[in-house]
Structure 1
Amino acid sequence: MLRKMASLPSGRVAKWVVVLLWTVLLVPALMLAGKLGDVEDNDNSAWLPGNAESTEVVDRAERFQPADTLPAIVIYDRPEGITSADMAKARADAEAFKGIENVVGQPQGPLKARDGKAIQTVVQIHKDKTGWEGIGKVVDAMSDVGEAKAGGLGFHVTGPAGQASDSIKAFSSGGGLTAVTASVVVLILLLTYRSPVLPLLPLLTVGGALATSEAVIYLLAKNAGLTVNKQTSFILTVLVFGAATDYALLLISRYREELRHHEDRHEAMARALHRSGPAIIASAATVAVSLMLLTLATLNSTQGLGPACAVGVLVGLLAMVTLMPALLVICGRWIFWPVKPSYGSAGAAGEGIWARVGTAVSGRPRIVWIGTALALGVMATGAFGLKADGLSGRDQFTDRPQTAVGEEIQSRHFPAGSGDPVYVVARSASAEQVKAALSGVPGVAAVSTPVVKDDEVFMLGELKEDPSSTAATRTVERARSAVHGIEGADAQVGGNTAVILDTQEAAARDSEVIIPVVLVLVFLILALLLRAIVAPLLLMATVVLSFGAALGVSGLVFDHVFHFAGAEASFPLLAFVFLVALGIDYNIFLVTRVREEALLHGTRRGALTGLSATGGVITSAGLVLAGTFAAMASLPLVFAAELGFAVAFGVLLDTMIVRSVLVTALTLDVGRWMWWPSKLFRQHDDPRPPTAGKPGLERAVRSV
């Protein structure tokens, strides 16, 4: 049955049908993919669940102020002192701001700083259906007004609206990210195959898979309520390029091997799909299931990221087991030019660096795996220093955009929390008690006069610290404790700082729930694939150890090399899901081949043959995946740079050390017990040396 299914994409007629179907599919897919940005929701509060306190405050505060507004803090500065002409310009600008589309209400200010060197005006911007895009246009229009004839007067738009504007500009380089990612893939494929033509087929197939994925995600976001944002878009790009290209590498490697044994390329592809298909499907299933578990998250942003990326992986899988085989068979052997695999020629299996690695590991496998595990454990200790409690507005970018400069100037001349207060809503009968409690909270600089409507009261609390800082979120925690203790007040604290706090708490909860579930389900997939219990347990242990080491090194690099202020609260969970799901891929590729060889020659010999046969393709796959995630550093965002570095480093660590050294040494040491309790466990190792002509493997097997 499996063999018949594997032969379908490579059939003499079927291959043309497959290409035709994909061509027809891509016409509407390309049209819909271009609309993905229309359904993105980049508002921070929209990422939270409806029962978050800050979300409930938005609903209760609608009668007191517009619900969908974001403050833009306009800062003017002149080091030698503000002049009367500067104040006149600031007042004229405030009037001009009112005429900009989506600016609502009366601007607050302009207010001159006590030291006389800066001016502040707060403008409320309506968040229309265009989200960040619309806010960016308003901020640009304000900048055109403020910078006109400034005469040396500094002008900056900061605050939440300024951060949103700079964020959308940073994400606007997504097209550049796609180009960088594609370039990385082409470069690695050129180095792998030394063919100027072959890399075009995986690139074409991946491009089709990405467009189709974006079309499906657009439809889900529009019709099924899936939350999609800019973060989802750029992660989807690198994931589809990396994972789908990995599947292509495994298929092409097996196809090239089969071309040496089959004169008919259709038979060779059918055989290659039959042999490599289970590993590719198991790999994609592991990644997709792990990503789908993100739907258990309370954060809407994380919840939406899972299904979107799972769609990308599954569409990439579909393209690589249908379109890619059809294109390869249509092109024929010449696609491998200048080194075409001819029928009857000998391959390079059993020779090269991975055969030598196997020989080295096989000498003392127990010492090797214990030493490697200890080294990884030491690396993992750096994770204790990772500060994943969120980033302030100025720390979210790798460069210094205008919002960061504006925040620095504002903090020097005005109270750091001015312009972006916390909101408190309570029962009107408790107005004075709530105000008194809020005024006594350390970190609250001032409390506004309560505004009463019907049975509700609304007031603002100005923070002493930067509203996006950790100190400010601690103030919100204290404020909530203070007002929640007032009996019958039904008081709640919201605002942008409260959104940040609720996001951090939701992210911590999501990690505690999702990580154990991911581990259990990935174990079950491995157990079904390998029909064993011991091997899946050992593989899971190696991947978790690899994740810990990657996280530990990342924490040290973020702090001491990149000098980042910290990491977003969702970073550990996303890094875990990507590293565990993608890292287990390479173990699947290796161990399925080891099991295949073990059925014929025994476990120890199978371990060395499997390492030698898959070493090159897995290394190339690791380089591709690491390269695509490293391309995320092209975005000027700390979150993108950190996630890209952690996944890239973790993949390389897993490819070069964990899979090749640790897993191989464990397999050699544990032997046939790897397959307990399957039938293979009861099969004793074949003591005979491997095939002649492979001296590296022969020495290795004899040594064990």
Structure 2
Amino acid sequence: MNRRTDWTPARWLRILLPTVVILLWFAAASFGGPTFGKLSSVSSNDQASFLPASAESTEVRDWQQKFTDSNAIPAIVVIESDSAIPPSELASYATLGEKLGAVDGVQRPTGSATTTVAGPIPSKDGRAVEFIVPVEDTNGVKTVVADLRAVVDSNLPTDAHGWVTGPAGLTADLVNAFGGIDGILLLVAVGAVFIILLLVYRSFVLPFLVLLTSLFALTAAILLVYAFASWGWIKLSGQSQGILSILVIGAATDYALLLVARFREALGEVESRWAAIGRAWRAAFEPIVASGTTVIIALLCLLFSDLNSNRSLGPIAAIGIVFSLLSALTLLPMLLVLFGRAAFWPFRPKFVGEEHHAPEHADVAAIHGLEGITGLWRRVGALIAGRPRLTWIAALILLGVCIAWLPQLQASGVSQTDVILSQSDAVDGQKVLARHFDAGSGSPVVVVADAGKAEATLAAVERTPGISAASLYVGPIDPTAPAAGPAPEPIVRDGRVLINATLASQADSDAAEQVVRDLRDTLPATDPNVLVGGVTAIALDTNVTAQSDLVKIIPIVLAVILVILMLLLRSILAPVLLIASVVVSYAAALGVSAFVFNDVLRFPGADAAVPLFGFVFLVALGVDYNIFLMTRVREESLRIGTRPGILRGLGVTGSVITSAGVVLAATFAALAVIPILFLVQIAFIVAFGVLLDTVIVRSLLVPALSYDIGTPIWWPSRLWREHRRTKPRILHSESASTRA
């Protein structure tokens, strides 16, 4: 670099600029920080709300609104006795039903009914009773279910045990499991990053500056996400809330590490800290912006998803990356320039002058490009220079072994009772319910049929294997009404009727989903306009939509990233190879994940959205590190030639990119503290995938393959044409001992 290009601002600007920038970020943090605890209030974990309007189960929900004004979801209270319950004691259980119906948030009765709670319903074996409690306050389902459990616990007979389960109970326990997102997750992620930065830089100041940059980016992002969610522009879920925190902390730290590395390098070349930050900012600006832009655009490709949860994550995560970029390029430079060399205390970089940093004047016996490079990255560079083809082939074979397990990945969805990994009263209650009742009671399959074909459709539903009972919907039942008298007529709306069908198997099981498929296959023969929905159908449609999103989104993301890389590197061949490398890395990460999930952790399967989320994060973030590497390689290649430039670029970026990869892996691994199957699986896939990409793909596969190809890697750019004409001489004369 030319010393004359350095710029030192006037004294007043050196005071004003950091003050204004830091105050603006403090203002954003002062508003965004308190908002962090409010995100849960605008977050929804209702699976049905994430389905597209075209899904059959969504259409059924819309029809249900015409038959009842209530959006209530059922909680099932199941009481199991150590001995048979005599019929004479059912009256005492009826009193419990009245107390359950009096809980705030439970649907209130209309007309002469005293309660909307159905029950007590005795089991056939006489050892259990159940109540179906409609929870109307769906926004406060956690509180309502907690109150129901308190009522059950305080009114149980001495020889009985009670559980609150069903859709409402499972939703409440899911919300409880997500409770750690507001505190524990962030604490673990920040703690892990702090320890890693402390070990990498051996500085007591710098980790605080980097983490402050990340936390300010998060608070600003949260402020905007909260506003968008409260205005109804996006749908926020517990999953996307957790991913937002982790993504911002990880990405902002990665960008900060790149800038810090350039700043430390510049402090050795120039004495002025303003000149150093100017050099660092100019050198880091292009790769940071290119990296961030790639991730943002890749995330926004999720807008093409049909599943609302996927589509909403795109802008939510993209907002996080935008503020990560802004904080790394505005707040961090001001913090670094204020602290100067003291930021690295106690190991402050010394000013030695540019002449001592020029690689062409040092270590003349080394392989061209590795002058001045020491330690691990010198040995890696020597390995690549001496045996490039063997290196990239060995790396590819290792990745191929990992990919061998990929067909074992079971990502077709799991039952809702398997989603929660911690102890759950609702999950335990489902097991008790299955022992004594039709497991699908309380969560019926809902069939919308033409009124003129109601009886025929009802008969067809009853004949379907897996259905234990079915009935036409006649409206709310008054439990105090006498049993005698004519049967009520079914309710008809716009020429349609509802049929509620009780499943013999648990509503969120694979067997139940198969029943829904069978109904959708057979019922159109009776009624061509029939629709099949309900809790089970919602889960089925969610899985099917997630799998179709995977096939659609992957090509879009790859095409977009390929174009960005071509524009950035001014080449065609290099971007194609980089894209291929991250796809191979992604497949290898999924392969190892399949082995770990199935054979080590014994998970029942994987959420259908796991492969798509893993792809978006691994491909976008994996390209990040290749961008950091290849932009520096291109910069060095312009000076000293392609092959030496590859070795030089790898040597000077090796430690910083590896540190960034470890930080990002640690932040995503923090997701595992939330006992939700989806988040634990995403935590492992991304953390392992990032480490695999950092250690194998970026350190060995990409540089070795690029070195083996040589100058044609830049085809058809000007760099390729110029190097082809000049054919710079590349030295390979390092001794065998130096290679070792």
Q: Distance in 1 between matches of 2:8 and 2:695?
A: 33
Equivalent position of 2:55 in the other structure: 52
Secondary structure (helix, strand or coil) at the match of 2:508 reads coil
Out of 314, 317, 340, the position equivalent to 1:332 is: 340
Is structure 2 residue 474 aligned with structure 1 residue 464? Answer: no
Equivalent position of 1:113 in the other structure: 123
Out of 169, 180, 192, the position equivalent to 2:176 is: 169
Equivalent residue runs for 1:94-133 within 5 Å = 94-104=97-107, 105=109, 106-128=116-138, 131=139
Q: Distance in 2 between matches of 1:424 and 1:6?
A: 73
Equivalent position of 2:729 in the other structure: 687
CA shift digits 1:645-678 (9 cap, x unpaired): 0000000000011110101110110101110001
Secondary structure (helix, strand or coil) at the match of 1:447 reads strand
Q: Is the 8 A contact 1:7 1:269 kept in 2?
A: no
Shift of 1:124: 0.9
Q: Distance in 2 between matches of 1:249 and 1:115?
A: 65
Shift of 1:73: 1.1
Q: Distance in 1 between matches of 2:321 and 2:498?
A: 47
Is structure 2 residue 377 aligned with structure 1 residue 371? Answer: no
Equivalent position of 2:43 in the other structure: 40
Q: Distance in 1 between matches of 2:290 and 2:737?
A: 29
Is structure 2 residue 323 aligned with structure 1 residue 304? Answer: no
Equivalent position of 1:527 in the other structure: 566
User: Which amino acid is 2:21 matched to?
Assistant: V
Is structure 2 residue 432 aligned with structure 1 residue 409? Answer: yes
User: Which amino acid is 1:355 matched to?
Assistant: R
Equivalent position of 2:609 in the other structure: 570
Q: Distance in 2 between matches of 1:271 and 1:620?
A: 22
Out of 341, 351, 358, the position equivalent to 1:343 is: 351
Secondary structure (helix, strand or coil) at the match of 1:172 reads helix
Equivalent residue runs for 1:266-345 within 5 Å = 266-344=274-352
Q: Distance in 1 between matches of 2:390 and 2:180?
A: 48
Equivalent residue runs for 1:538-577 within 5 Å = 538-577=577-616
Shift of 1:384: 0.9
CA shift digits 1:104-134 (9 cap, x unpaired): 1522221222222222111111144xx2xx1
Q: Distance in 2 between matches of 1:8 and 1:140?
A: 61
Q: Is the 8 A contact 1:632 1:640 kept in 2?
A: yes
Q: Is the 8 A contact 1:61 1:67 kept in 2?
A: no
Shift of 1:699: 5.8
Shift of 1:39: 2.1
User: Which amino acid is 2:517 matched to?
Assistant: E
Sort the Cα spacing of 1:317 and 1:349 in 2 relative to 1 into closer, same or farther, 3 A: farther
Q: Distance in 2 between matches of 1:523 and 1:700?
A: 39
Shift of 1:31: 4.6
Shift of 1:149: 4.9
Sort the Cα spacing of 1:163 and 1:259 in 2 relative to 1 into closer, same or farther, 3 A: same
Q: Distance in 2 between matches of 1:671 and 1:418?
A: 67
Deviates more, 1:308-317 or 1:354-363: 354-363
Shift of 1:27: 3.0
Sort the Cα spacing of 1:563 and 1:349 in 2 relative to 1 into closer, same or farther, 3 A: farther
Is structure 2 residue 212 aligned with structure 1 residue 204? Answer: yes
Sort the Cα spacing of 1:281 and 1:116 in 2 relative to 1 into closer, same or farther, 3 A: same
Sort the Cα spacing of 1:444 and 1:7 in 2 relative to 1 into closer, same or farther, 3 A: farther
CA shift digits 1:471-504 (9 cap, x unpaired): 21121111112223335x5211111111111111
Secondary structure (helix, strand or coil) at the match of 1:398 reads coil
Q: Is the 8 A contact 2:6 2:279 kept in 1?
A: no
Shift of 1:190: 0.4
What is the total number of aligned residue pairs between the two structures? Answer: 691
Shift of 1:689: 5.1
Q: Distance in 2 between matches of 1:119 and 1:514?
A: 48
Q: Distance in 2 between matches of 1:4 and 1:401?
A: 64
Secondary structure (helix, strand or coil) at the match of 1:462 reads strand
Q: Is the 8 A contact 1:349 1:612 kept in 2?
A: no
Shift of 1:78: 2.6
User: Which amino acid is 1:137 matched to?
Assistant: T
Q: Is the 8 A contact 2:446 2:534 kept in 1?
A: yes
Shift of 1:385: 1.1
Shift of 1:70: 0.9
Is structure 2 residue 259 aligned with structure 1 residue 220? Answer: no
Please give the TM-score of this superposition, normalised by the length of structure 2: 0.90
Shift of 1:5: 13
User: Which amino acid is 2:163 matched to?
Assistant: H
Equivalent residue runs for 1:230-245 within 5 Å = 230-245=238-253
Q: Distance in 2 between matches of 1:179 and 1:284?
A: 25
Secondary structure (helix, strand or coil) at the match of 1:532 reads coil
Shift of 1:436: 1.9
Query: Quick check: which has more Rg, 1 or 2?
Result: 2
Q: Distance in 2 between matches of 1:363 and 1:285?
A: 36
Shift of 1:360: 1.8
Q: Is the 8 A contact 1:604 1:701 kept in 2?
A: no
Equivalent position of 2:112 in the other structure: none
The percent of aligned pairs where both chains have the same amino acid is: 42
Q: Distance in 2 between matches of 1:84 and 1:544?
A: 64
Q: Distance in 2 between matches of 1:700 and 1:184?
A: 40
Secondary structure (helix, strand or coil) at the match of 1:50 reads coil
Equivalent residue runs for 1:528-677 within 5 Å = 528-677=567-716
Sort the Cα spacing of 1:380 and 1:336 in 2 relative to 1 into closer, same or farther, 3 A: same
Deviates more, 1:444-453 or 1:326-335: 444-453
Deviates more, 1:583-592 or 1:71-80: 71-80
Shift of 1:20: 2.2
Secondary structure (helix, strand or coil) at the match of 1:557 reads helix
Shift of 1:355: 1.5
Secondary structure (helix, strand or coil) at the match of 2:502 reads strand
Deviates more, 1:76-85 or 1:439-448: 76-85
Q: Is the 8 A contact 2:302 2:311 kept in 1?
A: yes
Q: Distance in 2 between matches of 1:5 and 1:544?
A: 41
Secondary structure (helix, strand or coil) at the match of 2:532 reads strand
Q: Distance in 1 between matches of 2:62 and 2:303?
A: 25
Sort the Cα spacing of 1:8 and 1:457 in 2 relative to 1 into closer, same or farther, 3 A: farther
Secondary structure (helix, strand or coil) at the match of 1:453 reads coil
Sort the Cα spacing of 1:349 and 1:50 in 2 relative to 1 into closer, same or farther, 3 A: farther
Q: Distance in 2 between matches of 1:349 and 1:445?
A: 77
Q: Is the 8 A contact 2:643 2:707 kept in 1?
A: yes
Secondary structure (helix, strand or coil) at the match of 1:483 reads helix
Q: Distance in 2 between matches of 1:219 and 1:308?
A: 11
Equivalent position of 1:484 in the other structure: 524
Secondary structure (helix, strand or coil) at the match of 1:326 reads helix
Is structure 2 residue 446 aligned with structure 1 residue 423? Answer: yes
Equivalent position of 1:693 in the other structure: none
User: Which amino acid is 2:148 matched to?
Assistant: M
Q: Distance in 2 between matches of 1:4 and 1:26?
A: 35
Sort the Cα spacing of 1:205 and 1:141 in 2 relative to 1 into closer, same or farther, 3 A: same
Shift of 1:413: 1.5
Sort the Cα spacing of 1:485 and 1:337 in 2 relative to 1 into closer, same or farther, 3 A: same
CA shift digits 1:355-402 (9 cap, x unpaired): 211212332211221222122122112121111111112211222311
Shift of 1:103: 0.8
User: Which amino acid is 1:277 matched to?
Assistant: F
Equivalent position of 1:694 in the other structure: none
Structure 2 unpaired stretches of 5+: 110-115, 358-370, 474-489
Is structure 2 residue 30 aligned with structure 1 residue 27? Answer: yes
Q: Is the 8 A contact 1:263 1:343 kept in 2?
A: yes
